[in-house]
């Protein structure tokens, strides 16, 4: 009897050892994931995409050694909904998290706004199975550093949404005390006097990578930069002030659209300095991966949460221009939703360019697919894996939808919805339900409304948009009882 018990014990020990070794081997083959999300970085704000004022050599190098998606879109023209979509693979309409937090509704409907919106979620629900939770369950060590902006209460912060470590993620959408320490951030200890936030967050991610280099990790570096306030390092600001003197200033700096100014030039030294600091820190992350010999087994995804801020009812605080794209953050024109996207996975996709339209809801299934943990993808996500595109294989053409039933405050955007299918994009403006139709492949600047020229295409896309809104139970804005017409 004792002998049998001993044999059984040995058998269990061997089985557990084999299981443990199998798990170790399995983990060893899993790619690490570094997700770099920049706040308010426009599609045209990088050297590889055409900027001649901003300097981004490290991101340009990342683009040259990965795959660049020229038709990548945010799921929303403002931050909180776009971030929720990245983490869930779902559109903001399905999540009913459709505006930045806390949003205009907390201040009541403005008398100059024709419409008002229904209540929307003020946090990312804990029952959503986030990308971080999924990766954590698959054996990844997870860390989030930077901007969260997906909750008003701490109980919905990153540490309760699948991240083992949260550095700096709280309710705010911008640095409460600016980009230099002390930060006044309850989730981030202050650094030395004058420490720069963008550097500090990168320091934290590098430390995390160094501490977890022997196991698969997911590092979500969510920069607060390049969101307002415009605060660059003094030496870099001086550099761009000098560079500005060499630029041809013959073109007008702003044009006015109604009550809103639209910036026509990239010429803000503080913003350029912020872009350069961000680029330097992306370079530091890439260098760390090389130094630790992790770069060949690490997926790096670089993108932005929405388009660049190129409009305002004031001219003194518009950071950038999105030209040739129309408008910017807060709009469903290309300037508000088209974003940079680069994916690097060792040397597999070096120098590739993809023109297929993709969305922020696609990152979740794509990363799981690349990590070979597809069986964990939630059944109800709306995104699709982009893995075939990385191998130069097509994916089925599908519509990409937007629903933004809000006003974007001083930016000037109004409630609207949109759909892109193939080369065509339709925008429906909810105040009067008028429609604009563009061929965004041929007309990147959306200058030529094709509604009257292609009524069948207009009707096709309008029907798709309305059916989708019905299917996801999107809440439409309704007449504002306090509205006073001009």
What's the mean pLDDT in 346-364? 95
- For the chain, report the end-to-end CA distance as a whole number of angstroms: 94
13 pLDDT above the threshold of 70: no
Task: Kindly report the average pLDDT of the chain as a whole number.
Answer: 93
3-state secondary structure of 87: helix
The sign of the dihedral angle between the CA atoms of 224, 226, 229, 230 is positive
% pLDDT > 90, the chain:
87
75-124 per-position pLDDT tens digit: 999 999 999 999 999 999 999 999 999 886 545 668 889 999 999 999 99
> Please, which pLDDT band fits residue 15 given cuts at 50, 70 and 90?
very low
Strands 341-345 and 298-304: antiparallel
On whether the CB atoms of residues 206 and 284 are closer than 8 A, the answer is yes
> Please, which pLDDT band fits residue 250 given cuts at 50, 70 and 90?
low
135-178 per-position pLDDT tens digit: 999 999 999 999 999 999 999 999 999 999 999 999 999 999 99
The sign of the dihedral angle between the CA atoms of 59, 60, 66, 68 is positive
3-state secondary structure of 64: helix
261 pLDDT above the threshold of 50: yes
49-59 per-position pLDDT tens digit: 999 999 999 99
| CATH code given to domain 30-397 | 3.40.720.10
Q: How far is CA 277 from the centre of its chain?
A: 19
What's the mean pLDDT in 306-316? 96
Give the bridge partners for 344, in sequence order: 300
21 pLDDT above the threshold of 50: no
**Contacts for 117 with CB less than 8 Å, ≥ 6 apart:** 98, 99, 104, 105, 405, 406, 415, 475, 477
198-230 per-position pLDDT tens digit: 999 999 999 999 999 999 999 999 999 999 999
């Amino acid at each position: 009897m004792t002998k049998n018990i001993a044999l059984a014990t040995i058998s269990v020990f061997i089985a557990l050892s084999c299981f443990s070794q199998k798990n170790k081997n399995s983990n060893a083959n899993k790619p690490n994931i570094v997700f770099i999300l920049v706040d308010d970085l426009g599609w045209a704000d990088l050297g590889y995409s055409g900027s001649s004022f901003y300097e981004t050599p490290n991101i340009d190098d990342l683009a040259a050694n990965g795959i660049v998606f020229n038709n990548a879109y945010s799921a929303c023209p403002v931050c909180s909904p776009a971030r929720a979509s990245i983490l869930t693979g779902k559109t903001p309409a399905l999540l009913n998290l459709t505006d930045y937090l806390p949003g205009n509704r907390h201040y009541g409907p403005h008398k100059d706004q024709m419409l008002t919106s229904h209540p929307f979620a003020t946090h990312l629900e804990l029952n959503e199975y986030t990308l971080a939770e999924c990766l954590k369950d698959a054996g990844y060590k997870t860390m989030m550093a930077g901007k969260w902006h997906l909750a008003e209460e701490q109980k919905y912060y990153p540490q309760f949404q699948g991240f083992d470590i949260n550095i700096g993620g709280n309710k705010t959408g911008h640095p409460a005390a600016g980009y230099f320490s002390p930060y006044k951030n309850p989730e981030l200890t202050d650094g030395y006097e004058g420490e720069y936030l963008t550097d500090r967050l990168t320091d934290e991610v590098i430390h995390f990578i160094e501490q977890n280099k022997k196991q698969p990790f997911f590092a979500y570096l969510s920069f607060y930069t390049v969101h307002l306030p415009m605060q660059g390092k003094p030496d870099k600001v001086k550099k761009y002030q000098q560079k500005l003197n060499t630029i041809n200033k013959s073109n007008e700096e702003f044009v006015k659209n109604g009550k809103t100014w639209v910036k026509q030039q990239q010429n803000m030294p503080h913003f350029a300095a912020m872009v350069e600091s961000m680029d330097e820190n992306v370079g530091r992350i890439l260098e760390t991966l090389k130094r630790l010999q992790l770069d060949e087994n690490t997926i790096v995804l670089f993108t932005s949460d929405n388009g660049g801020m190129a409009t305002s009812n004031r001219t003194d605080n518009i950071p950038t221009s999105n030209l040739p794209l129309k408008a910017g953050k807060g709009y469903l024109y290309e300037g508000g939703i088209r974003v940079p996207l680069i994916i690097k996975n060792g040397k597999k996709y070096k120098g590739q360019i993809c023109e297929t339209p993709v969305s922020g809801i696609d990152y979740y299934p794509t990363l799981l697919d690349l990590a070979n943990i597809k069986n964990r993808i939630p059944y109800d996500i709306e995104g699709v894996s982009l893995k075939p595109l990385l191998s130069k294989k097509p994916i089925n053409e599908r519509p990409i939808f937007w629903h933004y039933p809000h006003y974007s405050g001083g930016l000037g955007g109004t409630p609207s919805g949109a759909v892109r299918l193939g080369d065509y994009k339709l925008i429906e403006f909810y105040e009067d339900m008028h429609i604009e139709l563009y061929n965004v492949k041929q007309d990147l600047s959306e200058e030529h409304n094709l509604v009257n020229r292609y009524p069948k295409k207009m009707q096709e896309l309008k029907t798709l948009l309305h059916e989708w809104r019905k299917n996801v139970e999107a809440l439409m804005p309704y007449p504002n009882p306090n509205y006073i017409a001009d």
